[in-house]
């Protein structure tokens, strides 16, 4: 078991590989029960700036619960969560967003009957005179963002997203997270609903994001993807985080064994 850094609030510097990296999020023994079900018993991790932390585990290991606590969907029953060095005491989705955490949900969570512009700016529109929507500015910004992320395949940003491909829609969701997230992007199974080409496109996008100083928490079942994009790997087993390790410290076989048996 890896030894976690000091839990003191000023210990926001993680020393690894001889490089000093800022710790942007840190969880200590988070737990969550839903009635009789112990979805999360004790989960701890450290996410450093500019890194991709992959969370792996079998179904029901508590991955999604952990992410949702981070995204403020619901509060934990116990444990501590620090974001940018500050302990989080109040959990809600808007507050989480206020801390710079953006979440991309696994099941293409966009508004299908609305266009890319609306989906990119939902909840944060550019306004004119208070109530009117400034479509001109928003369309221009949308094109700029999509081009900047290399997802220029979306030709008409004013068509409903339900007419776009799954990859385009996931790219749009990630684009939204990148545009608005000031540090941490949570990707919950971003490739689960996608075809091979689409998946490739999204993985490339994740790789690109690292260079943009975004810290990414990635949940996926696909261990190949983990080894392609992750810097750190958190293994979950039956509601517990049993290990957080560096990618180079493990391999596919070991990781698979840890996921299945809970030992490493």
Partner 1 sequence: MPIGTNLSAGETPEGKSDSHPTAIDWMRTLRDNAALIALLLLILVFWIAAGDRFMSVRNWAYIAQQAPVLIIVAMAQSFLIRAGYVDLSVGSLLGLAAYLAAWGTQTRGLMVGLSLGLVIGVLGGLINGAIIAFARIPSFMVTLGMMVILRGAVQIISGGEAIYLSDESSGIAGYARFDAIGRFPGILIATIPLCAIAWVICNQTVFGDDLKAMGGSERVVGLLGVHVNSRRLSVFALSGFFVGLASMINLARIGAATTMTGTGLELEAISAVVIGGTPLTGGYGSISKTVMGAVALVTLSSGLTIVGIPPSWDDVVRGVLIIAAIGIALDRRKISLVQGDLDESRPEYRHLHQEIRARFFGIENTRLYRDLERREAKIRRLIDANIIGIFIWDFEGRIIEVNNAFLHMLGYDRDDFAAGRMSWMDLTPPEWRDQDARLAQEIEGMGHLPPFEKEFFRRDGSRLPVLMGVETFEGGDDGVAFVLDLTERKRAEQAVREREAKIRRLVDANIIGVFVADLDGHITDANDEFLRIVGYERENLSSGRMHVLDMTPPEWLDRTMQTQEEVKLGKTVQPYEKEYFRKDGSRVPVLVGSTIFDESNLAVPLGVVFVVDMTELKRAEAGARDIERRHREIQMELAHANRVATMGRLTASIAHEVNQPIAATITNAQAALRFLEAQTVHLDEVRQSLNDIVKDGKRAGEVISRVRDLIKKAPPQRDDLEINGAIREVIGLIHTEAAKNGVSMQAELTDGLPIVQGDRVQLQQVVLNLIINAIEAMSVVSEGPRDLLISTGKIESGDVFVRVRDSGPGLAPATLERIFESFYTTKPSGLGLGLSICRSIVEAHGGRVCASANVPRGASFQFTLPAAKRI
| CA angle 231–236–241, rounded 5-degree value | 90
Q: How far apart are CA 165 and CA 112, in angstroms?
A: 11
Cβ closer to partner 1: 109 or 208?
109
Residues that bind partner 1 (rule: CB under 8 A) add up to a total of: 36
In whole angstroms, the minimum distance from the beta carbon of 227 to partner 1 comes to 30
Q: Specify the stretch interacting with partner 1 by CB under 8 A; choose among 163-171, 186-194, 217-225, 243-251.
A: 163-171
| CA angle 189–237–93, rounded 5-degree value | 45
Could you list the beta-strand ranges (E) of 49-94.
52-57, 78-83, 86-87
Q: How far apart are CA 230 and CA 45, in angstroms?
A: 14
Q: Which of 94, 196, 248, 253 binds partner 1 (CB under 8 A)?
A: 94
Residue 226 tokens, joined:
């983990």
Q: How many residues does the chain have?
A: 264
| CA angle 106–107–112, rounded 5-degree value | 135
125 contributes a contact to partner 1 by CB under 8 A = yes
Cβ within 8 Å of residue 127, ≥6 positions away: 133, 134
In whole angstroms, the minimum distance from the beta carbon of 15 to partner 1 comes to 36
Cβ closer to partner 1: 7 or 158?
158
Q: How far apart are CA 53 and CA 220, in angstroms?
A: 11
80 contributes a contact to partner 1 by CB under 8 A = no
Q: Which of 5, 16, 38, 109 binds partner 1 (CB under 8 A)?
A: 109
Q: Which of 1, 35, 90, 131 binds partner 1 (CB under 8 A)?
A: 131
Q: Specify the stretch interacting with partner 1 by CB under 8 A; choose among 7-15, 148-156, 241-249, 252-260.
A: 148-156
Q: Work out the number of other CB atoms within 10 angstroms of the CB of residue 2.
A: 17
34 contributes a contact to partner 1 by CB under 8 A = no
Q: Which of 79, 148, 160, 262 binds partner 1 (CB under 8 A)?
A: 160
Q: Using CB under 8 A as the criterion, what x/- string covers residues 43-72 for binding partner 1?
A: ------------------------------
Residue 113 tokens, joined:
């009957």
Q: Which of 13, 15, 111, 263 binds partner 1 (CB under 8 A)?
A: 111
In this structure, is the dihedral angle defined by the CA atoms of residues 220, 69, 215 and 169, taken in order, positive or negative?
A: positive
Cβ closer to partner 1: 196 or 253?
196
Where do contacts with partner 1 occur on this chain (CB under 8 A)?
93-94, 97, 105, 109-115, 117-118, 122-125, 127, 131-133, 135-136, 139, 153-156, 158-160, 163-165, 168, 176
């Amino acid at each position: 078991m890896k030894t976690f850094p000091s839990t003191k609030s000023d210990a926001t510097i993680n020393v690894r590989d001889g490089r000093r990296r800022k710790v942007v999020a840190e969880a200590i023994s988070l737990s969550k029960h839903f009635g009789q079900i112990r979805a999360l018993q004790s989960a701890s991790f450290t996410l450093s700036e500019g890194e991709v932390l992959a969370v792996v585990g079998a179904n029901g290991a508590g991955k999604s619960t952990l992410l949702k606590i981070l995204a403020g969907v619901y509060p934990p029953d116990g444990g501590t969560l620090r974001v940018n060095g500050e302990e989080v005491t109040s959990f809600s989705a808007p507050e989480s967003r206020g801390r710079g955490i953006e979440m991309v949900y696994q099941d293409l969570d966009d508004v299908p009957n609305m266009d890319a512009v609306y989906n990119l700016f939902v909840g944060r529109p550019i306004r004119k005179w208070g109530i009117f929507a400034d479509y001109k500015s928003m369309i221009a910004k949308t094109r700029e963002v999509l081009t900047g992320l290399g997802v220029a395949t979306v030709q008409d940003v004013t068509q409903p997203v339900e007419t776009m491909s799954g990859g385009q829609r996931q790219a749009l969701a990630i684009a939204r997270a990148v545009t608005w997230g000031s540090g941490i992007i949570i990707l919950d199974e971003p490739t689960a609903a996608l075809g091979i080409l689409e998946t490739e496109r999204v993985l490339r996008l994740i790789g690109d994001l690292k260079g943009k100083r975004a810290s990414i928490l990635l949940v996926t079942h696909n261990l190949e993807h983990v080894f392609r994009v992750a810097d750190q790997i958190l293994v979950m087993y039956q509601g517990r985080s049993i290990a957080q390790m560096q990618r180079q410290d493990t391999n596919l076989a070991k990781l698979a064994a840890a996921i299945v048996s809970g030992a490493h």
